[in-house]
Chains A and B, each alone.
Chain A
Amino acid sequence: MNFKNKDIISIKDFSKEEIIHILETAKKIESRKAKPSLRGKIMGSLFFEPSTRTKLSFESAMKRLGGRVIGFDSAEASSAKKGETIHDTIKMVEIYADVIVIRHPLEGSARVAAEATEKPVINAGDGANQHPTQTLLDLYSIKKTQGRLTGLNVALVGDLKYGRTVHSLLMALSHFNCRIFFVSTESLRIPKTYLDFLASKNISYSEHENPEEIIDKVDVLYATRIQRERFPDEAEYEKVKNAYVIKSSMLSNVRKNLKIMHPLPRVNEIDMSVDKTPYAYYFKQAAMGIPVRQALLCLTLGVLK
């Protein structure tokens, strides 16, 4: 498997074997079985829109391995403000950087960037389209807490209609024969294309409106934020927003190995009373972004194979 100079644009581009290889590389780095060095390497960090977690996580991943970071953190600070195209920006950055990380609000922008250069490009989020490093860290968190990826019962809760992380995670989990429980209101149900996709792969699933129906049966509960901007009607948002608050009172009969995950930031999907329980994993989950992004940087730069 050769990842050198490979772009990381969409989780759909990766086979099951490639996903497993990335996760195993991350595990080796986290456990210090592998001690790669990125000394002398430069990461171009092109954030055309604000981001806290992803940007800091990439920078930390690079710097902890001895690499350096150049870049900008808003379109205002870049030549995009002067009307420069993504293509031309990348043509300039490729002179200075060995690997390029890009976040841009336009969907498909990371693919455009990747096509403009031979240097590896990593998508750190292209609008509502893809955020593959989030999906890989979600998978890594599941593998780490459950010891496996295959045959798990996974609940996806919240905004299943628009939620980018949920769609990508579902695509990735489809390689591992998990049983999927979808929990959402009628207005935020998972789109039919995804249900057809699961059916075509013989993956069992069911749809629910109440998390309490399924919380005792699952190994992983993945909650997502319901985004206010998706709702034209404020009253409808207020109604839906409070429909799925996971509270510690719901956890009395759950499986011992249950882990509750969330891509963060949360609004009120998970009550703070859950934070102290052994089931809460969302903050640790965010920390898993470091080994996963280190693995991707090392693999695409050819420092690890």
Chain B
Amino acid sequence: MRAYKVYAIERGTVIDHIPKKKALQVLEILGIDGDDDSIITLGMNMHSEKMGSKDIIKIENKKLTRHELNKIAIIAPNATINIIDEHKVKEKIKVKVPRVIENAIKCGNPKCVTRHQPVITKFYSIDSEEIKFKCHYCEKEFYADEVQLL
């Protein structure tokens, strides 16, 4: 039997199937910097049957909001969220990239009006071979790995 490389938690959230090297960005989205005392376990470049390699995050005593889930979906569209209670998986949620994303993505176009005026950003996710995000205002399109979050 293979020893666990990431410790189990009693209660909290496991974010699995994060693309490799994106775990730190997910922590940033969630505003987690280890300042409170809950246990955070981070696994990077772990082996995955499905993805080759992946990142994983376990956070004790944390429930994610819809807005946080949406933001995670932008950079980790295939992530799975496991809600853990008494060491057991109580619920499994696959994140879904929302069709309309408001106030989460910073437009990558330096000439976009949203970069210069107080305008709430709005993007549409476009389902093609790879997910792309289109700015409602300047109409420029960006791949998920080009996207900067607010």
Contacts and interface: CB of A to CB of B under 8 A. Distances in A.
A binds B: yes
A86 B112 CA distance: 13
A278 to B, nearest CB: 38
B137 A107 contact: yes
Contacts of B114: 108
A276 interface: no
Interface in A119-166: 126-130
A275 B135 CA distance: 41
Contact of A109 (B113, B139, B140): B113
A12 interface: yes
B137 A108 contact: yes
B112 A106 contact: yes
Contacts of B3: none
A277 interface: no
B65 interface: no
Given A107-B138, A108-B137, A108-B139, A127 B111 contact: yes
Interface residues of B, number: 16
Contacts of B90: none
Contacts of B137: 107-109, 111-112
Interface in B115-150: 116-119, 135-141
Contacts of B135: 108
A91 interface: no
Contacts of A85: 117-118
A128 B113 CA distance: 12
B109 interface: yes
A64 interface: no
Contacts of A12: 139
A112 B139 contact: no
A108 B113 contact: yes
B124 to A, nearest CB: 12
Interface string B59-74: 0000000000000000
Nearest to B139: A129
B44 to A, nearest CB: 33
B109 A107 contact: yes
Given A86-B113, A127-B111, A128-B111, A108 B138 contact: yes
Given A106-B112, A107-B109, A107-B112, A10 B139 contact: yes
Contacts of A130: 139
Contacts of B140: 107
A106 B116 contact: yes
Q: Which of B109, B113, B117, B140 has the most CB of A within 10 A?
A: B113
A247 interface: no
A41 B65 CA distance: 50
Contact of A87 (B109, B117, B138, B139): B117
B132 to A, nearest CB: 9
Interface string A96-115: 00000000111111011000
Contact of A86 (B117, B136, B139): B117
A31 interface: no
A108 B136 CA distance: 8
A85 B141 CA distance: 25
B141 A193 contact: yes
Contacts of A109: 113, 117, 137
A106 B117 contact: yes
Nearest to B129: A196
Nearest to B136: A111
28 contacts: A10-B139, A12-B139, A85-B117, A86-B113, A87-B117, A104-B113, A105-B111, A106-B113, A106-B116, A106-B117, A107-B112, A107-B113, A107-B140, A108-B112, A108-B113, A108-B119, A108-B136, A108-B139, A109-B117, A109-B137, A111-B113, A111-B136, A111-B137, A112-B113, A112-B117, A126-B113, A129-B138, A129-B139
Given A105-B111, A107-B113, A112-B117, 10 more contacts: A10-B139, A87-B118, A104-B113, A106-B111, A106-B117, A107-B138, A107-B139, A108-B113, A108-B119, A111-B113
Interface of B: 109, 111-114, 116-119, 135-141
Interface of A: 10, 12, 85-87, 104-109, 111-112, 126-130, 193
